[in-house]
Structure 1
Amino acid sequence: MASSTQDLNEIRIVMVGKTGVGKSEVGNSLLQYKAFVSAPFGISETTQCEFGTRMLADGHKLVVVDTPGLFDTRKSNQETETEIGHCISLTSPGPHVFFFVMVVGKFTNEESAVINNLKDIFGEQVMNFVIILFTHKDKLTHGNITLDQYFEICPKEVQSIIKECNGRWVAINNYADPVNLANDVEDLLHAVRETIKSNGGKHYTGAMYVAAEKAYKEHLQKIEEEKNQRERELDEKERQLDEERKEKTRKLEEETEKQRLKDEEDQRKNEEEKQKLLERRRELERESDIKSQEMEERRKQIEEEMASETEKNRIIIEMKAQNLKLEKEKQDKTMEQKVHEIEMERKRQNQLRIEQEKEAEQQKVEHERIIHEAEEKKRRIKDSRLKMERAAEEAEKKRLEAQARDMTLAKEKQKFEAEKRRREQELEEKRKQVERMARKMNQ
């Protein structure tokens, strides 16, 4: 009976909402004194349920309970929801109204989550006791917008929440001047009285909370079971992935080992081939050196033979010239001069071996000229001329033989140079092949 009397003389209000919407300031405005600690810039100071009271002019005792803000980063939502559930004990036998506090012009998915949390904690029937309360009413005043007009432009989610509350919603400017603040507080209390009246004076009961708490725990248990099931599925999937990863790793290691062995074998073969090529190159170089040495020796031998033969010819010609000179001592000085010129010409021929052919031709011309002059000047010395002609013919024969040897030597030299160039080309080609193979092995 005492509880019933208390219920008639008290108006019990519980304020809920996300962190930083101004619940504590609303409580202080309702109680007309600083019962709850509030902080600027949306920083929540309330970490557990607190309450304050004052006597109203009509004789009712006003009990206001401030709750921690949902989505407070300092506490988990589950801890906050449990703390909000304790408000029932502070409003025994139960609250008449829940103020769901929001900020004008500011609505996020968290506000919807707060309503859903209320339903989870207190059950669907809690909406019969909820009034939507907007703080920062001055934003509407500055925009010359009424509450009804704001309802038309606010998000559809907010309209849906207001409709769930049967259109119960009010606004307050906690920082208004005393007169306007008192008017806003009176509007809030009027909305509270109307809500109590529409509920037949009933308050939210502990039985409702127990039923809601049971349903909420079942819901949490179901969520936990689903979470455990997902964790088991994830563990199984992770185990399968781990096995697949291990199998793939094993296969990759096997393939890597096979490739490594193959690479080592290829590298060994390449090294052997490279070594063979190097040995072949050295062998070719040795052969080339031997061949070059042989060709050089052959060239020197041919030159020595040519020099020896030329020297012999020179000695023979000198001897014959000397004989002719002895025979022609009695001839005039002109004949002696011509003989001397012939001998000097032949000496130049021996000294200029590279120009032997040209000098031989010049010698022939000179000889013919001398013979012609000798025939013109020495008609009377026919026997001497005949001897000179025979000597000249023999000298010409020797010259021709020397010329033939020079041509043979030139051909031998050309053949040697051609063979040398061919060998050099072969060596260069081999060297390029070795370099290409070396580059391939390095790659």
Structure 2
Amino acid sequence: MNSETPKPLPRSYSRSSATGQNDDQSIYRVSELEEKVRSEEEELLQYSARFFNPESETSDNVYITMRNLKKNVAVETLDLLLIGKTGNGKSATGNSILRSQAFESKPSLVSVTTDVTYEISEWNGAKIKVVDGPGVQDTRMNESEATKDLLAAVAKAITLSPKGYHAFLLVVKYGSRFTKEEIRTVETLKKVFGDLFFRNFFIIIMTHGDKFEEELNTDFNSWLQQQNSKEFEELLSACNNRAVLFDNRTKDEAKRNQQVKNLFDVIQALKEQNCRYCDEHFKTAAASRAALLVEAEKDFIEDEIMNDASFILQRLQLILTDIQCHKSTPFLQDLNERAESLYIKLKQKDKGTGVLSTLSQHVESIINTIRDQIKFSENILKETKLLRQKREEEAKAHAEELKRQREEFNKCYLEGKAQEENRIKLLQEQIEQIAKTKELWSNQDKEMKSKAQKVRQTEQEKLKTVGEKVKKLKNDQIKSTNEKVSKSVFKILKQKIFQKGGNQK
């Protein structure tokens, strides 16, 4: 591949990002037309080879002309997707590849790219299609908004290249520290595109090559091998050590062509090893993207669920304190329905990702506690009914015995005073029997109350344990949120100080 300057195609070949159905249809239409052009030109070449005599000078000229024409025919479009942190020169890199001011580019801490766009140019007879996505880690957005926007932009980028992508270009800036924040961004991209994304399709584009050459007197590949940053080594290893240095500011035409050629050489090696990254690859990573969305909203979900869980626990404590055990079943069943609804809601928000598994376990613990209380209440109610039935049977037996004794007493009374002493004895036995029965019932009541009190104390201790766990989780969540807020405030102050220092200079 020589160093021929890429030629921008006519503006009719350029497309802004598709935001509606008509634009998506036009993308497919362009692809169909390109295929048709290639097919017609192949037929023309075959026809010329058959029609002219190869020994004729005229036919030689025509054949050479047609061969040159075939050489310049765009065999296929090389599809590339630019990804990068705001301020790293992503759009400028796209312009360097296309050799035209196709994308808006200017130094900024806020992303200039607000939508996915693409442009097409030509290089050595091949069409080069570069899709410029929005910057990752956009400082204008919170984590949840940034994640949603990233996923939406990636989905749009996939539709903009129906046949897929030959390579993904991650634009990083020379001279910037590669921190854990960048590693988290890399992990996010893995979740968006899939685990094989980096090793098979990923290329690092390091911008600010002019500063690299000013500060260092070494080869770029040698410099890569000398890096001792754990984070950067992980990134470089993940993409199989594919990296290209770019100077987007240089006016040296030969240098501009050479760096583009270096990139295309790496891409050509990828093409020989892999097929395109297409919609099917994107679909296989759907589960990890769902987990990414849930993770972004985790703090909001936890706060909402924890508030509902705290209300349920407070209501449970009130029921156990103010309502008699054997009468609490209906209230507990209603509370159990609320807890189960909360659990279903939590599972729906988790979307099967497992991101909210810890919170799910706590809600399950609350549900189990309520169910234990329902079971205990039902057992107490059952025992109370059995005791009442037993007392009714005993009372009936006592009444019959009293009736019998009364009849016997009357009989003895009629027989005379001779049996008076026996009657008095019978009455005393009756009184003693009644006293024993009262004592028995009293002991049974005390035993039942003691048993219920012990069980209630046990359940309240369990409830207290669950409440402390939930309270701890909520405090941890509040602490985590405060730390994030503090970090965000510190980051904003740092950026303002940096900007102020830059303005003073």
TM-score normalized with structure 2 length: 0.44
Q: Which has the larger radius of gyration?
A: 1
